[in-house]
Amino acid sequence: MREPYAICLEIAGPTAIWTRPDTGDSPGTYPTPTRSAAKGIFEAILWNPAVEIVPSRVEICAPLVYHHYATNYGGPLRKSGQIKDGNNYQLFATVLINVRYRLYASLNPATRSDFPPKIRQWLERTRSPCHAFKDIFERRLKRGQCHYVPSLGWREFVPSYVGEPQNSPVQADINLSLSSMPDQLFSKPAYGEHALSYAQGLVIESGVLNYGARHAE
């Protein structure tokens, strides 16, 4: 059996937050991207609904440094009185600073068939969608091209580097247990409905988190 096609990238930046759902209105962060966050980073480089990106593991390549962060929130989740008076909400969070990760993912052909016309035309010209996707992805990564600007959690946390894997050493002294972590946000890889699922009992061992088998859809 042919091994699945795999892709890899490295991403770094001054600030990151991988929000823990159990931390309420003062968000805290996981030490690494969740699987869904990693998927979003890969898709920021290249997105094609005919190929499913399944993040497999993450390597922590910088020490974990937690930091208190405050910002003024002016979005729609403010109280009605705050919106009426034009007042912002002061939001406090626990973030990570000076992060660097190496992300890995496998590629699978999408199981759906109701693709947009441009994708159907692309599939007609391509005998191996995953092979073609990998080539295009790595070419875009090398050139610094992206489908949209990737982020380190919140949109304002833009990376200082995102590109081909470097020789950054893995932080082998990091060993942590994660009792629960969001695994998937949607019911389908593309065009799905919101359906949050969790992975249980994950472990960061010698600076490496394996996401494990994908949660059943």
The predicted model gives 127-153 an average pLDDT of 95
Amino acid 87: pLDDT: 84
Question: Which pLDDT band, with edges at 50, 70 and 90, does 83 fall under?
Answer: confident
Full-model pTM:
0.88
Residue 2 pLDDT greater than 60, yes or no: no
Distance of CA 87 to the CA centre of its chain: 32
Burial of 111 (0-12, 13-18, 19+ CB in 10 A): exposed
- Reading the block at residue 133, the tokens are 């996707």
User: Residue 24: left (phi > 0), alpha (psi -120 to 50), or beta?
Assistant: left
Residue 187 has pLDDT above 80, yes or no: no
Given pLDDT bands bounded at 50, 70 and 90, which one contains residue 71?
confident
What is the pLDDT at residue 146? Answer: 94
Share of the chain above pLDDT 90, in %: 64
Pairwise pLDDT comparison (101 vs 191), residue with the higher score: 101
Q: What percent of the chain has pLDDT over 70?
A: 92
Q: What is the mean pLDDT of residues 105-131?
A: 87
- pLDDT at residue 23 tops 70: yes
What is the pLDDT, as a whole number, of residue 215?
Answer: 47
What DSSP letter does each residue of 130-167 carry, written as one string?
HHHHHHHHHHHHHHT--SS---BSBTT---SEEES---
pLDDT of residue 214: 63
pLDDT of residue 98: 98
Helices (runs of H) and strands (runs of E) counted in the chain: 4, 8
Q: Mean pLDDT across the chain, nearest whole number?
A: 89
Whether the pLDDT of residue 112 is over 80: the answer is no
pLDDT value for 1: 42
| Domains defined for the chain, CATH in brackets | 5-74+87-169 (3.30.70.2660)
Name the packing angle between helices 35-45 and 129-143 (round to 10°).
80
Q: pLDDT band at 188, cuts 50/70/90?
A: low
